[in-house]
Amino acid sequence: MEAVKKIERLRDFMKARGLKCALVFTSDEHGSEYIDGYYKLREYLTGFTGSAGTLMVTEDEAGLWTDGRYFIQAGSQLEGSGIELHKMGEPSVKDIYDYIKDLAGSAGSGYKIGVDLKLVTRGTYDRLMKISRDTGCIIEDTDPAREVWPDRPELTHNPLYLLPESITGCSTHEKLAGIREKLDEYGADALIISELSDVMWTFNVRGSDILYNPVAISYGYVDRDEARLYVYKESVSDEVSGALLKEGVRVLPYDDFDRDAAAIKDVKILCDHTSLNAHVCNIIMGNEMINRPSCDYIRKHIKNEAECELARKWHIEDGLAVTRFILRIKDEVRKSHEEGRSISEYDAAMMLDEMRYEIQGNKGLSFDTISAYAANGAIVHYSPDREGGAALKPEGFLLVDSGGQYEGATTDITRTIALGPLSEEMKRDYTLVLKGMLDLADAVFLEGTRGENLDILARRPIWEQCMDYRHGTGHGVGAMLNVHEGPQAFRFKINKDVNQPPLAPGMITSDEPGLYLEGKYGIRIENLLLCVEKESNEWGNFYGFETLTMVPYERDAILTGMLTDRQKEILNDYNERIFKLYEGRLNEEERVRLRDITLPYQRKQAV
């Protein structure tokens, strides 16, 4: 297998430098979740294509740590590679840091571990250095990609573009003023902005250096007197530079950042150790660093009024395309079966992608469309390929998770589509997932409530059947930015290393419970929720959610006897809203079919 040869090449690199262990993280120089192909060394070495995972290689073993979203996928892609899969979070699986600590401890002092410090955040570096202090091992800065990856792709540099205030709802000048107020509040002299979407939000610009993420490889620097944007010079036009200069921002070459950072002396620097890499931290080591989560001073997770209105607008447009897709794919699968031809998962994904591209104002996809039929639906982040995608049949479930980028908004929606007859087990499981999704969306809660407090609402119907899903229930979503945006989330496991602020009006968060039966099928239903004010009274400020996503559920998969009257009421209100939104924009056949699947559910008769 190719991965075996690549791992041996890495071991040759290690031996030449006296390394006993090498760690390859899935990251770029800005702590990004999704990264440019230039940084995908872990994928190159292992063949595992998931977006999360850490590779550890020693003289005689190799292991990959990844989370529950990728257990099935990683198990398949690592087969025959000699790389052991470590399923993070499972009771019998050691945390990678504990595993390394045991290795280094048993080897004695002087055990050398190679890490590319540009691709490790300060938070991760601190954990490694604690292992070094405890065991006497040495953490050595190395860059194996230069020697073990001969056909490494070039780093992407695409044009940077400005967003008008009609989309951002706030000028760059106003955002910088707010950041400077935070410098005063925290007693800092300057701020280094390292997370890419934070940089884009602050300077009201967007790029396309990372596939599906409208960001540019960049740094930001703000002090009381000036603001700087460091970006590759080939990405910036004179027009963009001139417009930013009028807002008080100097545009400088990206490669100048390290030099300018080294020139900072006797300054209190505000920064976020979850995205600032260890290499930069070592450069500015002589200054006092004030580590605070970027959400404390860069408020992109709280959408303003203009951003909320754009989110509503584009979710309607996006929802219409997805609704039409659902009607069309059912027809196509039925017809292809009758005519003896084949339509695949990949074909379905391309069909939906094209329908999105046709929307005026669409700026592309927000992630690679997941189109997973039957057993493939149990692979949480499955992605079909052109040649190997499963053929669709007029039976069972097709899980489609997709999203788009628009002028001011980002969408993310999952629907599990019934292509034909379903078993009672499938209907039961679909209804369990739907119940949890509806219950979370219906929550009313006091100010100060966090996502961890509400996650149980989505999981309860599933937990009551002693079942579960191995991913969070929801993540934040950007405004024409990353589809996965912190800091808020719905999840039941409390991570002390992750800052979870209280839910607040203006936050957009996904609501996506699921069930995955390996070898059989997967079910996930996802809407995006906007946190809104409900009522203020003597008890406090109460918040709730407005559902942004406007696409009908799978009526043929719902066991109505399992629904409460309140859940039926929510469904009826939602369905009627969808029908009124779209009836005038569909042809007659589509309109009749939409009416059929959005008819009201009957509530139970009072005795």
CA–CA separation, 313 vs 252, rounded Å?
36
Same domain? 188 vs 253: yes
How far apart are alpha carbons 545 and 549 in whole angstroms? 12
Q: Are residues 309 and 378 in the same domain?
A: yes
What angle (nearest 5°) sits at the alpha carbon of residue 349, between those of residues 347 and 353?
Answer: 115
Same domain for 403 and 364: yes
Q: What is the pLDDT, as a whole number, of residue 605?
A: 56
Q: In the prediction, which pLDDT does 388 show?
A: 72
Residue 153 lies in a domain: no
Q: In the numeric block, which tokens belong to residue 241?
A: 């530079």
Question: For the residues of 416-434, what is the DSSP string, one character each?
Answer: EEE-S---HHHHHHHHHHH
| Residue 497 pLDDT exceeds 90 | no
Question: What is the number of residues in the chain?
Answer: 607
Kindly state whether residue 604 falls inside one of the protein's structural domains: no
- Mean pLDDT for 239-266 is 97
Q: Are residues 576 and 519 in the same domain?
A: yes
The answer to whether residue 547 is domain-embedded is: yes
Residue 571 lies in a domain: yes
Cβ neighbourhood burial of 597 (10 Å; 0-12, 13-18, 19+) = middle
Tokens at residue 238, please? 């004179």
Q: Residue 397, exposed/middle/buried by CB under 10 A (0-12, 13-18, 19+)?
A: buried
Residue 1 pLDDT exceeds 70: no
φ/ψ of 97, rounded to 5, equals -70, -40
Task: Confirm whether 603 is domain-assigned.
Answer: no
For residue 607, what pLDDT is reported? 43
In a domain, 156, yes or no: no
**Pairwise CA distance, residues 173 & 244, whole Å:** 9
Residue 450, in any domain of the structure: yes
> Confidence class of residue 387 from pLDDT cuts 50, 70 and 90?
confident
* 252 plus 390 within the same structural domain: no
Q: Total domain count for the chain?
A: 3
Is there a single domain that holds both residue 336 and residue 472? yes
What is the mean pLDDT of the segment spanning 306-335?
A: 98
Q: Give percent of the chain above pLDDT 90.
A: 95
Give the model's pLDDT for residue 21: 97
* 288 and 316 both lie in a single domain: no
Query: Which of the residue ranges 117-126, 162-171, 380-389, 518-527 would you say has the lowest mean pLDDT?
Result: 380-389
In this structure, are residues 322 and 413 in contact, taking their beta carbons and an 8 Å threshold? Answer: yes
Q: Which pair of tokens denotes residue 395?
A: 């039976």
Based on the fold, state whether residues 5 and 101 are members of the same structural domain.
Answer: yes
Answer for the pair 104, 131: CB distance below 8 angstroms, yes or no.
yes
Q: What is the residue-averaged pLDDT of the chain?
A: 96
Query: Quick one: pLDDT at residue 170?
Result: 97
User: Once rounded to an integer, what is the mean pLDDT over residues 535-564?
Assistant: 98
pLDDT at 97 over 60: yes
pLDDT digits (tens, 9 = 90+) for 199-220: 999 999 999 999 999 999 999 9
Residues 257 and 324 in one domain: no
What would the pLDDT profile of 463-487 be if each residue is shown by its tens digit?
999 999 999 999 999 999 999 998 9
**Is the pTM higher than 0.85?**
yes
Judgement on whether residues 282 and 351 belong to the same structural domain of the protein? no
For the segment 360-376, the average pLDDT, to the nearest whole number, is 97
Q: Which of 356-370, 376-390, 543-557 has the lowest mean pLDDT?
A: 376-390
**372 and 512 belong to one structural domain:** yes
Q: Which residue has the tokens 């078993």?
A: 423
Domain coverage including residue 438: 305-598
Q: Report the amino acid identity of residue 174.
A: E
In this structure, is residue 607 part of a structural domain?
no
Q: How far is CA 301 from CA 96, 210, 282, 297, 450, in A?
A: 30, 20, 29, 11, 14
Q: What is the CATH number of the domain that holds 60?
A: 3.40.350.10
Give yes or no: residues 519 and 451 share one domain.
Answer: yes
pLDDT in tens, 9-56: 999 999 999 999 999 999 999 999 999 999 999 999 999 999 899 999
Q: What is the mean pLDDT of residues 436-462?
A: 98
Task: Give the model's pLDDT for residue 435.
Answer: 98
- Show which of 124, 148, 172 is a domain's final residue: 148
Residue 584: Cβ-neighbour burial (10 angstroms; 0-12, 13-18, 19+): exposed
- Report the percentage of the chain scoring pLDDT > 70: 99
